[in-house]
Structures are given as C-alpha cells and as structure tokens.
Homo-oligomer: A and B are copies of this chain.
Amino acid sequence: MTSTVDDDLWSAVGDPTRRRMLDLLLADGVGTATTLSDRLPVTRQAVAKHLGVLDRVGLVHGTPAGRERRYEVDEAQLARAVAQLTAVGSAWDGRLQRIKRIAERIEQEKKR
C-alpha cells in the first residue's frame, strides 16, 4: 500500500531541482539561496522558492545570519523521506517478484 506515504514529503523530493539542492546541501553542510543558485541552472529566486517548500515540509531549516539566510538539511526528516522511498520501492518490488513467480509457474504448467 502506498497509502502510508506522506504525499507532501514525497512531492517535495519529487522535484529534480529540489533533489539536486538537497544533494548540494548534504555535500556542503550549509548553503544560501545565492550559493546554491551558483551551482544550479536556475535563478536565485527559483531556488529561494524551493527552499521555502523544503522548509515548509521540514526537510531543511533556515536561520538568518546577518544579511543572509543559511539553510541546512534536517537529517531526521530526510531520513524519514528516505525510509518512505525505500518502502514504496520495496512494496513494488515485492509485487513484481510475485508476478514473476506466477509467470514462471504458468510456464511450468505449460511444459507438463
């Protein structure tokens, strides 16, 4: 069942730009809208919007520091998201395997 999935968390992580942002933040530890947009193919304003989304679902946390706002990954929340990814993945995987087994059994029946 996919119904156990938090859709907000998932769709936050579903956007490719946001995924890259999380990658960068994880690699560097911390970043601002400007530093992130330097390494991304979108404008600073777009990055700022994404940071807003990620902040709202709790995947990152931003703190004002002087004139800039620093963001870092909330590790616990990202761990939760990862858990959901792998949960859905293995649910589908399980179904696929079951289908494969059934297909093989039918092959067997035919040969008899």
| A contact residues vs B (CB 8 Å cutoff) | 1-3, 5, 7, 10-11, 13-16, 19-20, 22-23, 26-27, 75, 78-79, 81-82, 85-86, 88-90, 92-93, 95-96, 99-100
Contacts and interface: CB of A to CB of B under 8 A. Distances in A.
Given A85-B88, A89-B82, A5 B19 contact: yes
Main secondary structure of the interface of A (DSSP, over half): helix
A100 B75 CA distance: 9
Contacts of A78: 92, 96
A16 to B, nearest CB: 5
B22 A16 contact: no
A4 to B, nearest CB: 11
B7 A16 contact: yes
Given A75-B99, A82-B96, A96-B75, A1 B23 contact: yes
A23 B2 contact: yes
B85 A26 contact: no
Contacts of A27: 95
